[in-house]
Structure 1
Amino acid sequence: MRFSARVAVGVLAPMGAMLALGLWGLDRGAMWRDESATYLVARRTLPEIWRLLGTVDAVHGLYYLLMHGVLAASRGLAAPVGDTETLLRAPSLLAAVGTAGLVAALGHRLTGRARVGLWAGLLYAATPIVSHYAQEGRPYALVATGAAAATLLLVRAAERHTAGGWAGYGAVAAVTVLLNACAALLLAAHAATLALARAPRRTWRGWAAAAGGVVAVLAPLLLVSAGQADQVAWIAEPRYPQVKALLYGFAGPSGLVLAVNLALMGVALARPLPPATPLPLPAVALPLALVPPLLLFAASQQEALFHPRYVFFALAGVPLLAAAGAEWVASRMAWRRPVALVGAAAIGLAFLWQFPLHQRERALSSRADNLAAAAAELGRVTRPGDAVLYAPAYERRLALAYPRPVAHLRDVALQAPGPPSGTLYGREVGPRELARRLAPLDRVWLVSEPGPPHGPKPTALTARGFRPGPSLCLADGKLTLYVRQERP
C-alpha cells in the first residue's frame, strides 16, 4: 500500500471522527454491572486476580490484567470511583479509534482506492453500536481492533508469503482470542476467505501453521473456562428476534440506513471491484461479516452463547462491503472529482438521521442498570444500625462499586470479601450462621432482583420473625425493608 496524503487522510479522518464520537458522552456518571466487574477485578493485586481466574471469569483474564496495568499506571487505585469510570472506558475508546483506522486501511489495501477506505472507516465510526462498545469498560472494542488488525495482516501475509508475516498474523490473532475466546471464530472467517479467493497451497500452509498456534494458545483457556459456564447461563437460546437485532445493529439500525447498506453490499458482491491484492474485498469482508455470527448461532442451538458482544468484531465486514458498493456506483458517474467528499457527506447525513440512536447510546438507560443510583438510593433510605442482605450475592456489586453511600450498613451475610476469597462478590456464611447474625437485628434491608423476593435469604428473614415492609424499585432491582415483629 503506497503511502500518500490521500491515503493518510483516508485513514486519519475516520480515526478523528471515531475519537470525537467516542469522547461525546464518555462519562455517563455511573458504571453498570459488567463495568463494575472490570473495576473490582482490575484494582486487585496480581496474585488476587490470578486466584479469581481459577474460579470465575478466566475468559477475560488477559483483559483484566491489561486494565490492572491501566489503573495502576494512572494511580486510579486511590482515585475516587467517579474519576475511574472514564478511565475504565478509555482503552475501549482508543481501540475503537484504532479499528476505524484499520477498516479504512483495509478498504484501501484491498481495492487500491483511497476513498473506499475513507468511506468504510467513516461508516464504521458512524454506526451506533460501535459507540456502544467504544464507551464501555469491557474487552469487546479491543477484540474488534485485534480482529481488524489480524485481517489486515492476513492480507499482507497472503501477498508476501514470508514466515515473519504469518508469525505476526498468528501473534495478533492469539492475543485477540485471549481477550475473548469467541474471537476464535475469526479463524473460520479467514479460512472461508482463503477458500473464496482460491488461495494457493503455500498460503494455506502459512495460514494453517499460524492458526494452529492460535488454537494451541487458546486451548488451556478453554479448558479452564469450560468449568465456569455459569457465567453465561443467563443467555437464552437465540431465535429470529436476536438475529434481526444483530442485523439492524450491524447494518442499520435505522430502517432507511439498513436498506441503503444492504443495497450497496449487494452491488459490491454482484459487481466486485478489481482486486489490488490476492484476496479480493468481497472474499475478505463477506466471511468476516457472516461466518462468526452464523457459527455462533449454530453452536448456540446446543449451548446458548449468541450475543452481539461476542461477534461485534465481525461488524467490520459490513462497512467494507458497503463502501465497495458505493465506489462501484460512484465510478459510473461523470463527475468524479468531488465524489469522495460527496460520499463522506452522505455518511454524515446517515449519522444525522440516526442521531437520536447515538443520543440513546450515551444515556444511562442504555445499560441494564445504574449502580451509582442504586447505591445512593440505598444509602438515602437506610439509617445507622441497619443491616443489609444481598439476594443473590451478586447484588453486592452496587456496594463494592460505590461503597461510600452504604458504608454505614452491616453486610450481615458476608463471611470473606472477594479478593482474599478468590470470588467476585465475596464468600457468604451458611444458613445457621446467617440465622445467628440475624437474631439481634430489628431492621434488615433486602437488595434483590425485580419481582417478589424469593430464595433462602427472604425465607431466613421470615423464619426469624421479620416481615416485609416498604419497597423501592431500582433500575434493575428492588429494596425491601424487613422489620422484626415485636419480640416476645
Structure 2
Amino acid sequence: MESQRTATLTGILDGLGNRRQGPDSGAVSSGWKLPAALGLLAFCVAFVGMWIPSFWDDEIATISAARRSPGELLLLLQSVDAVHGLYYLFMHFWTSVFGFSEIAMRIPSALAVGLACAGTTIIGRRLGSPTTGIAAGLVLAFLPRMVWAGTEARQSAFAALLAVALTLLLLRAWESNRVLDWVLYGLCAVVGVWMFMFFVLAVMAHAAAAVILRRRVLGTLVASAVAGATVLPFVLHALGQKAQVDWIQNRSLAQTLMTAAVKQFFYGDDRPTNNAPPQWVLGAMLVLGVIEVGLVVWGIWASRRHGRHRTLIVLGLSIILLPALGLLLVSVLAQPVYVARYLTFTAPAFALLVGLGISQLPARKAWLRPVALAAVVLCSLVPQLTIKSVVSEPADTERRVAGMLDGALPRPAAVVFGEPYLRDLALAYPEHFDGVADLALEASPAESGTLWGVNSPVAAGELARRGNVLFVGQAGAPADLSAFAEAGCRETDNRPFERMVLISFTCS
C-alpha cells in the first residue's frame, strides 16, 4: 500500500513537471488509479463540512418531493418541478435507505462530483497530456462552483457528471463510429436532459463542436437529433411550467454579465438568502478569476501557436460559451432564466481549459506549474470558508428557527403557517414539530400535488384552549391575526427576522 501511494504521488509530481505533451508521455497517461485518486480528493473536498449549512429552500423542495411515493411524485410533476423529476425519483429511493439528514441528502452530490473529477482527468489526459489531466482534475476538485454543487441536495453535480460522461462517449463514438457507441451517446443525452432540462445546451454544444472540427458530423447530428426527438415531449411539458422560474430577478444585461463573471465558477453559493461574502473573500474570488481566465487564454494561445490540442479547445469553448449565450439570450429577449448554478455542467470544460493553460506553462521553469496550481487551489479554498460555515447564513435559517421550538420559544401545541411555503420548516426538520398540530393545513403536500401543501383560514374556535400557539409569517407582509384576537389569545413573544416573523400566543 505504501508503495502504491508513493507511486501515485510520484505520478502527480512527474505529470506536473513533464516536458512531453503527447497523450502517451509516461506511465501516468493510462490507467485508472490517478483519476480515481483525484476523484476521491474531489469527493473529500465536497464532503468535509457539508453538514454545517442549514437546508435551504431548494433542498427542502427535494425533501418534500423525495418523501412521496412514485405515484404521489408523478402527481407533483404534472403541475410543478418536472425539470427535477428524475433527480427526485432517485432521491426517493436513496432517502428510503439513508434518511433525510444533511449528510444523507447531500452525499450523492459529493459522489457525483468525485466521479465527474475522475472523468475530467481522463478527458484532459486523452485530449491534452498527463499534465493537462492532472491539473484539470485538481482545478475541478477545488473549483467553488463544483464544491458547492457537491454540498447541496440538488442535481447540479449530476448534470456535471453526465456532461463528462457524454463527452467521453462522444470521443469514443468519434473514434469508432460504431452504432452501439452512438446509441450510448444518445441514451446519455436523453438521461442528461431528463436530469436537467438545460442539459440540452450541452448536446447542442457537442453538435457545434463536431461541425467546427469536422469530426463525424453526420453521426453526431443524427444521434443528437434522435435524442432531441425523444426528450421533446418532456421539454414541452417542462416549458409549460415556466411560472416556477418567475422568482428569477429581471436584471439588465450588464448586471447579468457581472453575475456570470463572478458566480459562474468562482463562488458557487446561490442561496437567495445568503449574506454578501466579506471583502477579503471577494478579493480572493477576483484573484482566482484573473488567474484561471489568464491560464485559459494562455493555454489557447500557446496551443494554437504550436497547432496542438484543437479538439480540447473547441470542445471546451463550445461547452462553456454556447450554453451561457443561450441562457443570456433567452433572458434578454424573453424571460429571465439565467442562474449561475444552472450551468454547473460547464464547469468540467472550464477546468479542462485551465488545466491546459497550466500544462502549457514553460516546462524549463520547473516551478511555474506547481506554483500556478497552488495559487489556484489556495484562492479556491477561500470562498469555501463562507460557503461551508454559518457566517454567510441569515439568522433565520430553517434549522435555527425550527430549533427555537425546543428552547428559545415556549413549546407550542400548535403552529399556524401564514403562507404554505413557510411550512418548509416542518418539512426540513420535522423532529422539532413532533406533536405540534398544523392548524392551517387543508391538504398535505402529497395530497395536493404541491411542494408545500394547501392552506385554509384558521377559525377562532380552533385556537381556543390550545395553550401555546406559534404563528409563522412572512417578514414585511401584513399578517391576518384576527382569529387570534377573536379567540382571546395573548401575544407572549414576537421575533422578527429577515425572511420571517415568529409570534408566540397563549390561547386559553
In the alignment, structure 1 residue 205 sits paired with structure 2 residue 221: no
Match of 1:371 among 389, 398, 414: 398
Alignment partners' CA distance in 1, 2:392 and 2:224:
37
Match of 2:343 among 299, 302, 311: 311
Q: Which amino acid letter does the alignment assign opposite residue 284 of structure 1?
A: L
Alignment correspondent of 1:322? 354
Contact 1:443–1:481 at 8 Å: present in 2 too?
A: yes
User: What's the offset of the Cα at 1:178?
Assistant: 0.7
Alignment correspondent of 1:91? 108
> Where do 1:9-408 residues align within 5 Å?
10-28=34-52, 30-74=54-98, 76=99, 81=100, 84-111=101-128, 113-199=129-215, 203-239=216-252, 240-250=254-264, 252=266, 254-272=285-303, 280-301=311-332, 302-330=334-362, 333-334=363-364, 343-366=369-392, 370-383=397-410, 386-408=413-435
Alignment partners' CA distance in 1, 2:239 and 2:490:
41
User: What's the offset of the Cα at 1:4?
Assistant: 4.2
Q: What SS class does the counterpart of residue 261 from structure 1 fall into?
A: helix
Alignment partners' CA distance in 2, 1:424 and 1:136:
18
The alpha-carbon distance between structure 1 residues 107 and 428, as it changes in their structure 2 partners (threshold 3 A), is same
Residue range with higher mean Cα deviation, 46-55 or 468-477: 468-477
Alignment partners' CA distance in 2, 1:233 and 1:438:
35
User: What's the offset of the Cα at 1:483?
Assistant: 6.8
Aligned residues: 463
In the alignment, structure 1 residue 449 sits paired with structure 2 residue 474: yes
The alpha-carbon distance between structure 1 residues 325 and 356, as it changes in their structure 2 partners (threshold 3 A), is closer
User: What's the offset of the Cα at 1:286?
Assistant: 0.7
Alignment correspondent of 2:5? none
Alignment partners' CA distance in 2, 1:459 and 1:422:
29
Alignment partners' CA distance in 1, 2:349 and 2:164:
9
Q: Which amino acid letter does the alignment assign opposite residue 45 of structure 2?
A: L
Q: What SS class does the counterpart of residue 271 from structure 1 fall into?
A: helix
Q: What SS class does the counterpart of residue 40 from structure 1 fall into?
A: helix
**Deviations 1:395-443 (Å, cap 9, x if unpaired)?**
01111221222334332111222223322222222x4x64664577686
User: What's the offset of the Cα at 1:311?
Assistant: 0.8
Contact 1:467–1:482 at 8 Å: present in 2 too?
A: yes
User: What's the offset of the Cα at 1:267?
Assistant: 2.1
Q: Which amino acid letter does the alignment assign opposite residue 213 of structure 1?
A: V
**Deviations 1:254-284 (Å, cap 9, x if unpaired)?**
222222222221123333256788x611110
Q: What SS class does the counterpart of residue 171 from structure 2 fall into?
A: helix
**Deviations 1:177-216 (Å, cap 9, x if unpaired)?**
11110111112221221232234xxx22212222123223
**Deviations 1:226-260 (Å, cap 9, x if unpaired)?**
34333222111243333223223345452222222
Contact 1:103–1:320 at 8 Å: present in 2 too?
A: yes
**Deviations 1:283-316 (Å, cap 9, x if unpaired)?**
1001111111111011122111110111111122
Alignment partners' CA distance in 2, 1:95 and 1:422:
29
User: What's the offset of the Cα at 1:371?
Assistant: 1.6
User: What's the offset of the Cα at 1:146?
Assistant: 0.4
Quote the sequence identity (%). Answer: 27
Unaligned runs of 5+ residues in structure 1 are none
Q: Which amino acid letter does the alignment assign opposite residue 31 of structure 1?
A: F
Alignment partners' CA distance in 1, 2:231 and 2:93:
22
Contact 2:53–2:389 at 8 Å: present in 1 too?
A: no
Q: What SS class does the counterpart of residue 300 from structure 1 fall into?
A: helix
Q: What SS class does the counterpart of residue 26 from structure 1 fall into?
A: coil
Alignment partners' CA distance in 2, 1:25 and 1:410:
34
Q: What SS class does the counterpart of residue 184 from structure 1 fall into?
A: helix
The alpha-carbon distance between structure 1 residues 44 and 288, as it changes in their structure 2 partners (threshold 3 A), is same
Q: What SS class does the counterpart of residue 448 from structure 1 fall into?
A: strand
Contact 2:292–2:376 at 8 Å: present in 1 too?
A: no
Contact 1:126–1:347 at 8 Å: present in 2 too?
A: no
> Where do 1:391-430 residues align within 5 Å?
391-429=418-456
Q: Which amino acid letter does the alignment assign opposite residue 210 of structure 2?
A: L
Contact 1:378–1:479 at 8 Å: present in 2 too?
A: no
Q: What SS class does the counterpart of residue 359 from structure 1 fall into?
A: helix
Alignment partners' CA distance in 1, 2:373 and 2:40:
15
Q: Which amino acid letter does the alignment assign opposite residue 347 of structure 1?
A: L
The alpha-carbon distance between structure 1 residues 350 and 295, as it changes in their structure 2 partners (threshold 3 A), is same
Q: Which amino acid letter does the alignment assign opposite residue 445 of structure 2?
A: G
Residue range with higher mean Cα deviation, 463-472 or 236-245: 463-472
Residue range with higher mean Cα deviation, 315-324 or 383-392: 383-392
Q: What SS class does the counterpart of residue 329 from structure 1 fall into?
A: coil
Contact 2:412–2:469 at 8 Å: present in 1 too?
A: no
Alignment correspondent of 1:473? 496
Q: What SS class does the counterpart of residue 423 from structure 1 fall into?
A: coil
Q: What SS class does the counterpart of residue 158 from structure 1 fall into?
A: helix
TM-score by length of 2: 0.82
Alignment partners' CA distance in 2, 1:471 and 1:319:
49
Q: Which amino acid letter does the alignment assign opposite residue 310 of structure 1?
A: Y
Alignment partners' CA distance in 2, 1:16 and 1:237:
39
Q: Which amino acid letter does the alignment assign opposite residue 221 of structure 1?
A: F
RMSD, aligned α-carbons? 2.9
